[in-house]
Amino acid sequence: MTTQRRDDAPAENLTYGSAVDGERQAAPGYRDTKDAHLKRLRRIEGQVRGIARMVEEEKYCIDVLTQVSAATKALQAMALGLLDEHLEHCVVDAVAAGGPERDAKLREASDAIARLVRS
């Protein structure tokens, strides 16, 4: 079974990671936006370092909490973007393939959504 990416490139040319149950996994859904995600994560990393610096400098509690809230929202936005890409790529492909792969990907997506809602 070969899965096609949206740009119609054969999936066998787009593998990553180690083999799972003897099969290579297709490239992640965020592959085309990887650089944007990394840039966003670096920005969030800077925010968190700034929060640590605020605590070291004993800044006012509410100011620290405001920055924690901003960093949390940034991470949540990043997670929602990744989830969207996962649904559009990985889950759509699995549903098209059907069978146990479909069921596993749907369960996995549902669990990820539940984790995001609880956070």
What is residue 100's predicted lDDT score, i.e. its pLDDT? Answer: 92
**DSSP SS3 for 95:** helix
Count of beta carbons in the 10 Å neighbourhood of residue 105: 19
* Cα–Cα–Cα angle for 52, 117, 31, rounded to 5 degrees: 75
CA dihedral 37, 17, 119, 105 (to 10 degrees): 110
Burial class (CB in 10 A: 0-12, 13-18, 19+), 26: buried
What is residue 12's predicted lDDT score, i.e. its pLDDT? Answer: 39
What is residue 6's predicted lDDT score, i.e. its pLDDT? Answer: 42
**DSSP SS3 for 20:** strand
Count of beta carbons in the 10 Å neighbourhood of residue 29: 21
| Tens of pLDDT, residue by residue, the chain (119 residues) | 333 444 444 443 333 333 344 454 667 778 888 999 999 999 999 999 999 999 999 999 999 999 999 999 999 999 999 999 999 988 999 999 999 999 999 999 999 999 999 98
What is residue 119's predicted lDDT score, i.e. its pLDDT? Answer: 80
Q: What is the pTM of this model?
A: 0.69
- Domains of the chain, each with CATH number or no CATH: 11-118 (1.20.58.1000)
Count of beta carbons in the 10 Å neighbourhood of residue 46: 11
